[in-house]
Amino acid sequence: MFGQKQASRSTPEADEEAVAPVVHAVPVAPPARPAAPEGNDVLVRSDLFRVIRNGVFAAMNPSAAVGKTREQMKPGVETLVLDVAERERLNITIAEQQQIVGELLNDMFGLGPIEPLLADDTITDVLVNGPDQVYVERHGRLELTNCKFRDNNHVVNVAQRIAAGVGRRVDESSPMVDARLADGSRVNVVLPPLAIHGASISIRKFSKRNITLHRMAQQGNMSSAMATVLKLASTSRLNIIVSGGTGSGKTTLLNALSHFIGHGERTVTIEDAAELQLVQPHVVSLETRPENAEGLGAVTQRDLVRNALRMRPDRIILGETRGAEAFDVLQAMNTGHDGSMTTIHANTPRDGITRLESMVMMANGNLPLLSIRRQIASAVHMIVQIERMRDGMRRVTRITELVGMEGDVIITQDLFTFRYDASAYSEEVKGVYECAAVRPSFATRAAYYGLEDALLEAMRP
């Protein structure tokens, strides 16, 4: 996968970079590797690996590797490893040879020592804190792995390779970047001196499983009635905001909601780092662009939202609303682009409304608060709150409707709520999904789409 991404570069500079970090970033005395990544019980002696690695790259013609894939290079690397071991009179086992070849190919085509972690489907996040500390999140819990980089330069080389793959750069003059991997995984990089203890790489892996509302209900992320109501809300073209904390599963839920967008609708997605995976045939994906070395050329989410309005969209999906673009999103929701969706960082639906107010005021400080609230009340139909709980499970804790204004206050109505059972404290969070047994405010809208009976049936306790 990553070998193909490197092979697709066409510029000489990119081709040189694909090989140069591997050839020139060889430390004189690399730290010992105390353990191999999980699932691999073979330990390669650090000195032996260093000697073979130096010998392989000394014998390899860098220009011969340009344009080749990982599988095409593997036989040649295996031969070079055996030649170096024989020349230096090193005794290595078949298992050690395979591990050395794998690590060399990971350095050349992949992301070095964290490549096996990216191939592990049970891992959702890979967090590199400098060269000597790599954490992963598995089943909602953080674990320290045995993976290590050779030194900080090795981490920086991997980070620069990721950024270059999506046409971005990360260096001392631009030490922070958001990027993505070829499979859609989201990456954030912070380099020294901002990262004090070495370069930091945070990877949110893209799930290869097609997560749907039905599957989330089966996993216990929500009840089946909640899944049905959310399906009907998306089909009825409600404007929906998914609210939650970092890592709570907002984007996953947004992807699941997007499955019910009609195939005859034109959808425009806007993100900082593209990770939404819509299944419809008519989707236009837009991605922001950071400023260049001269501080020019930046394209923000607000710029893209304004431009999207000129692209005749039926729905606009904004990956995350975090700033002044909130005003333009509300304008879009209020001007015929029903069924638009976005996510927001907030702990409760009411907090989400307050955050929206603050972000709109960032864009238009002269707007009165009452006017902003009226815009929110008329634009947003539903807020879905999702939370990652202490047992690692992501749960939809509340589905809330915005039903209008009373005076200068936005009135909300909870359709579903997750009630935590405090009397059954254990490692696993216990509770029930409660239905409010009320008539949803969007029942009239559902009737327009012929879905009112199904909605009222789902709301029965």
366-423: per-residue pLDDT in tens? 889 999 999 999 999 999 999 999 888 999 999 999 999 999 999 999 999 999 988 8
Residue 362, pLDDT score: 87
Contact 243, 385 (CB under 8 A): yes
- What pLDDT is attached to residue 67? 66
What is the Cα–Cα distance from 111 to 180, expressed in whole angstroms?
Answer: 13
pTM, two decimal places? 0.77
CA distance linking residue 309 with residue 432, whole number of Å: 41
CATH number, domain 110-208, options 3.40.35.10, 3.30.450.370, 3.40.50.970, 3.40.640.10: 3.30.450.370
| pLDDT of 46 | 60
Which residue intervals of the chain bear CATH 3.40.50.300? 213-459
pLDDT at 183: 82
DSSP letter, residue 289: B
Sites in the chain below the pLDDT cut of 70: 1-47, 62-67
Centre a 10 Å sphere on the Cβ of residue 296 and count the other Cβ atoms it contains. Answer: 7
- Categorise residue 319: left if φ over 0, alpha if ψ from -120 to 50, beta otherwise: alpha
Check if CATH label 3.40.50.300 holds for domain 213-459. yes
Angle between helices 70-87 and 94-109 (to 10 degrees): 130
Bond preceding residue 193 cis, omega within 30 of 0: yes
Q: Which two tokens stand for residue 306?
A: 């304004």
Sheet containing 200-204: which strands, arranged edge to edge?
141-144, 134-138, 123-129, 200-204, 186-190, 176-180
The answer to whether the CB of 289 falls within 8 A of the CB of 299 is yes
Backbone angles phi, psi at 123, to 5 degrees: -95, 130
**Cα–Cα distance measured from residue 124 to residue 208, given in angstroms and rounded to the nearest whole number:** 11
Rounded CA separation 304/317 (Å): 11
CATH 3.30.450.370 segments of the chain:
110-208
Rounded-to-integer distance, Cα 229 and Cα 384, Å: 11
- 266 burial (CB, 10 Å; 0-12 / 13-18 / 19+) is middle
Contact residues for 65 (Cβ-Cβ < 8 A; gap 6+)? 18, 19, 73, 108
Residue 91 half-sphere exposure, CB side, CA atoms within 13 Å? 0
Query: What local confidence, expressed as pLDDT, does residue 291 receive?
Result: 79
Q: In this structure, what token pair is assigned to residue 455?
A: 């909605």
Q: Are 201 and 128 in contact (CB under 8 A)?
A: yes
Task: For CA atoms 200, 175, 158, 270, give the dihedral sign.
Answer: positive
